[in-house]
C-alpha cells in the first residue's frame, strides 16, 4: 500500500499578504467620487464635519461640488490623521500625523471623518470575496489578510501572480476598492512584499530575492520589530535587514535574549514557518475616544458620563453585530500627562447588553484615580464567547454581583463621579 502524497507535495509554498489601499479614505471616495485624485485626509474623529453638507445634499438630492467640502486649513481641534489618499501623501501627509502639522503641509486637502460602519461593511465584503476564491485566509485586521495560495487552483501559476490578479479583480468588482498583494515563500516576506508596489500593485518575492529586495530595507519593516527594538538596533549600528543578517546569531542572543535573538537572526535571513491560521477569533473588542479638550471628572461630569455611556452602547452594538458576548469588561483612561490607566473586571456571566456593560465599566472606574484631567476614555470587552455558546447575564443578577465587589476605600469617593 502506498501513502497518498501530502497535498502540497512538489509545490512551492506560496503565501500572500493583501492590504487595502488607503482604506478609510478609499471608502469615502466611493461615496464622493468627485474627490478622486484630490488630496483627502481622514481624521478629526467626528461625523459632524460633513454631516451638514450631506444632509443638505440628501434633502435636495443634489451633488456636492468639491468646493463645498471642508478643508484641512480650516480644521480646528486636535486629533490625528488615520489615513490619507495617495494624492495627499505626495505632500508628506500620512497616518498618525497630527492634524495641525498636516494642515501646514497640505492646507488644501479635504478632511473627512471616518465612517466605521462603512469600514466594517467593506472589510467584511473584501474578506468574503477572498474566501470564496481562496479559503485559507487569516484575518489580520480591518484591511489586511494573509492567504495561503499553495493549494489553491492557479496559486502556483507565475509564482502566484495569476491568482493575485484574480483576487484583485474580484475585490474591485465587489467593492470598487483597490488593494496590493505580495506573494512570497512565507508570511514574513509576503507582508513586506505587499508594500513594494502600492497602490494597486502585485509583488512576487522568491527566496533568491532576499539580498536585492529585502536586505536594503530598514529593520522596522520586519513585522515584530517595533519602535523599541528598532531603537536598540540603531544604537548597535544596525539599520537595515542586511546589517541584521550579517550579525552572528550568538551575538544577537547575547543582546536580545535567547528567543528574540534567534528569531531576529531567522527573520533577517527570510525564514518564517508560521502557518496561515484560518478563523481567527477576536480576543477583545474596544471603543475609545480622545476628547476635543481634556475633561475633568468633576467639572465635566455630565459630558464625561454621556461619552462613557455612548462608548458602552457602541461596544454593545459591536458585540451584538458580530455575534459575541463578553465576560470581562475593562476601561482605559489617558490622563492629560499621557499616562495610561487600565482596569478590568470579570463578571460571573457573559453579556452584550449596553446597560450591563456600562455598570461593570462603572465599577472599574471606581478603581482609578480621577483627580487629574482626562484626555481619552475607552471601554473594552474581553473573554469573548460566541453568543449562544455561553450563558448570558440577567441584568438584575449582575446588580447583586456588583454589590459584592470590593472597592478600595480611597476610591469610594469616585462613587459621586460620573
Residue ranges of the binding site for Mg(2+): 19, 143
Choose the binding region for ligand DCP from 18-26, 334-342, 353-361, 369-377 (rule: CB under 6 A).
18-26
Question: Pairing state of beta strands 15-20 and 144-148?
Answer: antiparallel
**Which of 139/143 has CB closer to Mg ion?**
143
- What would the x/- binding string for Mg ion be over residues 11 to 30, using CB under 5 A? --------xx--x-------
96 binds ligand DCP (CB under 6 A): yes
Residue 330: its H or E element? strand 324-335
77 binds ligand DCP (CB under 6 A): no
**Which of 142/166 has CB closer to ligand DCP?**
142
**Binder of ligand DCP out of 17, 19, 163, 168 (CB under 6 A):** 19
Q: Could you tell me how many residues make up the chain?
A: 418
Choose the binding region for ligand DCP from 17-25, 219-227, 349-357, 385-393 (rule: CB under 6 A).
17-25
**Is 144 annotated as catalytic?**
yes
The span from the CA of 404 to the CA of 365, in Å, is: 16
The span from the CA of 137 to the CA of 147, in Å, is: 4
**Closest distance of CB 88 from ligand DCP, Å:** 11
**Closest distance of CB 19 from Mg ion, Å:** 4
CA dihedral 229, 183, 145, 40 (to 10 degrees): 80
C-alpha 133 chain-centroid distance: 24
> Under DSSP, is residue 139 helix (H, G, I), strand (E, B) or coil?
strand
139 binds Mg ion (CB under 5 A): no
- What would the x/- binding string for ligand DCP be over residues 172 to 211, using CB under 6 A? --------------------------xx------------
- Partner from Mg ion, ligand DCP, none contacting 198, C-beta within 5 to 8 A by type: ligand DCP
The span from the CA of 119 to the CA of 116, in Å, is: 5
Contact (Cβ atoms closer than 8 angstroms) between residue 97 and residue 81 = yes
242 binds ligand DCP (CB under 6 A): no
Contact (Cβ atoms closer than 8 angstroms) between residue 334 and residue 306 = no
**Closest distance of CB 394 from ligand DCP, Å:** 37
> Under DSSP, is residue 323 helix (H, G, I), strand (E, B) or coil?
coil
Question: Pairing state of beta strands 324-335 and 340-351?
Answer: antiparallel
Report CA Rg, the chain.
Answer: 24
**Closest distance of CB 26 from ligand DCP, Å:** 8
Contact (Cβ atoms closer than 8 angstroms) between residue 170 and residue 133 = yes
- Note the residues at the interface with ligand DCP (CB under 6 A): 19-24, 82-83, 95-96, 142-143, 198-199
- Note the residues at the interface with Mg ion (CB under 5 A): 19-20, 23, 143
Which residues are marked as active site?
144
Amino acid at each position: 500500500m502506498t501513502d497518498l502524497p501530502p497535498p502540497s507535495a512538489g509545490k512551492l509554498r506560496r503565501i500572500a499578504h493583501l492590504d487595502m489601499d488607503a482604506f478609510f479614505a478609499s471608502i469615502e471616495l466611493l461615496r464622493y467620487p468627485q474627490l478622486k485624485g484630490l488630496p483627502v485626509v481622514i481624521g478629526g474623529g467626528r461625523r459632524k464635519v460633513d454631516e451638514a453638507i450631506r444632509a443638505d445634499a440628501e434633502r435636495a438630492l443634489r451633488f456636492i461640488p468639491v468646493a463645498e467640502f471642508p478643508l484641512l486649513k480650516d480644521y480646528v481641534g486636535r486629533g490625528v490623521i488615520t489615513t490619507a489618499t495617495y494624492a495627499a501623501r505626495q505632500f508628506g501627509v500620512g497616518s498618525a500625523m497630527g492634524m495641525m502639522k498636516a494642515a501646514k503641509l497640505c492646507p488644501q486637502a479635504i478632511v473627512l471623518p471616518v465612517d466605521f460602519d462603512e469600514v466594517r461593511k467593506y472589510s467584511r465584503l473584501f474578506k468574503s470575496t477572498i474566501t470564496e476564491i481562496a479559503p485559507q485566509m487569516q484575518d489580520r485586521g480591518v484591511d489586511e489578510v494573509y492567504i495561503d495560495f499553495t493549494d489553491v487552483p492557479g496559486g502556483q501559476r507565475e509564482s502566484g501572480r495569476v491568482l493575485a490578479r484574480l483576487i484583485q479583480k474580484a475585490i474591485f468588482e465587489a467593492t470598487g476598492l483597490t488593494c496590493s498583494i505580495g506573494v512570497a515563500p512565507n508570511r514574513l516576506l509576503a507582508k513586506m512584499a505587499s508594500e513594494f508596489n502600492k497602490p494597486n500593485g502585485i509583488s512576487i518575492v522568491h527566496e533568491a530575492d532576499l539580498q536585492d529586495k529585502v536586505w536594503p530595507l530598514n529593520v522596522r519593516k520586519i513585522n515584530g520589530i517595533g519602535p523599541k527594538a528598532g531603537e536598540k538596533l540603531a544604537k548597535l549600528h544596525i539599520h537595515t535587514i542586511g546589517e541584521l543578517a550579517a550579525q552572528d546569531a550568538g551575538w544577537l542572543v547575547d543582546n536580545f535574549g535567547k528567543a528574540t535573538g534567534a528569531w531576529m537572526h531567522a527573520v533577517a535571513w527570510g525564514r518564517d514557518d508560521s502557518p496561515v491560521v484560518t478563523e481567527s477569533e477576536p480576543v477583545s473588542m474596544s471603543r475609545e475616544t480622545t476628547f476635543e479638550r481634556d475633561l475633568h471628572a468633576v467639572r465635566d461630569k455630565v459630558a464625561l458620563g454621556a461619552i462613557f455611556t455612548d462608548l458602552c452602547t457602541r461596544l454593545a452594538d459591536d458585540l451584538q453585530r458580530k455575534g459575541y458576548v463578553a465576560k470581562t469588561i475593562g476601561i482605559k483612561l489617558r490622563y492629560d500627562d499621557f499616562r495610561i490607566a487600565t482596569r478590568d473586571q470579570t463578571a460571573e456571566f457573559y453579556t452584550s447588553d449596553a446597560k450591563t456593560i456600562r455598570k461593570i465599566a462603572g465599577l472599574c472606574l471606581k478603581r482609578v484615580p480621577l483627580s487629574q484631567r482626562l484626555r481619552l476614555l475607552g471601554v473594552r470587552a474581553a473573554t469573548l464567547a460566541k453568543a449562544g455558546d455561553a450563558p448570558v447575564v440577567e441584568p438584575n443578577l449582575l446588580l447583586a454581583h456588583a454589590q459584592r465587589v470590593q472597592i478600595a476605600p480611597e476610591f469610594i469617593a469616585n462613587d459621586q463621579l460620573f
